[in-house]
Amino acid sequence: MNFGAHVSIRDGYLGAAKKAASMNASAFQYFPKNPRSLSVKEVSKDDAALCKEFSEKNNLISVSHSPYPTNLTPTSSSKRNQVVQSLLNDLEITDACGSLGVVVHFGKEISQNDPLVSYRLMIEVLNETLGQWDGECKILLENNAGKPGTIGTTLEELVQIRQLCDEPEKIGFCFDTCHAFASGLWNGEDWSELWNKGTELGYFEQLEVVHFNNSKYESGSGKDRHANIVDHGYITSDQFDQLLITPQLRDIPFILETPKEIVPHQKEIALLQERWG
């Protein structure tokens, strides 16, 4: 199994890769730029190239995560242009670092009267972005953590958005275990049913990364609060077993976004390798 964690780029992209290697990880995630801003960052080509070279030599798989303000359902033209330019910048940096793609949260509901407004806007923003992108890495849509029935919490939505875009081959998926549990998509006991549904829809064929997080709250709570994997949340190790023994996920990177102040990521990765590696 490929276990890793989100790491800082404080020491650059090469520094992030070296930090992951020092934790005995085989995968890592990073923010391509300031996580609280949509500003465009000049690509440090030398640093990115060194990150890519180091990762290849050390068999490290990586993805980036778009900044927090990234929203695929912007409600103004100026905000939309800002999001598109920021995403193109994220893709350029991520590609230069040799990463699989940029994780982007599913859009938000902007009209209770017409839920299709949000989906149409998402498709438009993705088309505008990816129509200008010709690199190798992809946008990786992540499932939302809202209450059951809210936007972005079903596999059907994720698959349909991808299929309706002009260039679906440039889009993959990120499955967040805490989000799935919080939204009721996965209740901890029904992994086989979820796997069968996702396989039938073609979701798992496009899965590139798993955000491996426990949940501080019960299934269906709609609360996005991450907990450490072993003995710290509502998802039990036996329930995680069902997911981790799936042969088709063996080569997928599992990225921790768990509280490192409670269990340091290096220690948590060692625990995961001991149980599931």
Taking the chain (277 residues) in consecutive chunks of 10 residues, what is each chunk's mean pLDDT?
Answer: 97 98 97 96 94 98 97 95 98 98 95 88 98 97 94 97 98 98 96 97 98 97 95 94 93 96 96 91
Give 35's contacts (C-beta < 8 A, 6+ positions apart): 65, 67, 68
Residue type, 163: Q
pLDDT value for 136: 96
- CB distance 41 to 47 below 8 Å: no
pLDDT value for 231: 86
pLDDT value for 113: 81
pLDDT value for 35: 96
pLDDT value for 277: 79
pLDDT value for 184: 96
Cα 76 from chain centre? 25
Between CA 277 and CA 265 the distance in angstroms is 15
| Structural domains of the chain in order of their starting residue, each with its CATH number | 2-263+272-276 (3.20.20.150)
